[in-house]
Amino acid sequence: MKAGTGGGSFDAVDRRGLALALARGLALECPRCAAPMIRQEVRPGQGVPYVRRRVWVLCPVCRRSAALDLDRPSDG
């Protein structure tokens, strides 16, 4: 397997796994290298009625990153 060019993004399967872990409140591990991932909440722009929470995750080892949308649970 050849080394990639470094950085890049996750594919759909990886993103789905990350989103699931995020939704369950689990610790996020990089699906490619199993490193603990950095997680950062992305704030919507001012005045934007954006109800979803978006979280940006980054692997410090392989430098892959993804922006994940968190659906809010419909609690009161």
Cβ closer to Zn ion: 43 or 63? 63
Choice from 23, 61, 67, 70 touching Zn ion (CB under 5 A): 61
> Cα separations (Å) of 47 from 43, 44, 72?
11, 8, 19
Which x/- pattern, by CB under 5 A, does the window 25-54 give for Zn ion? -----x-xx-x-------------------
Strands 38-42 and 65-70: unpaired
Tokens of 68: 């994940």
Name the residues that contact Zn ion, by CB under 5 A. 30, 32-33, 35, 59, 61-62
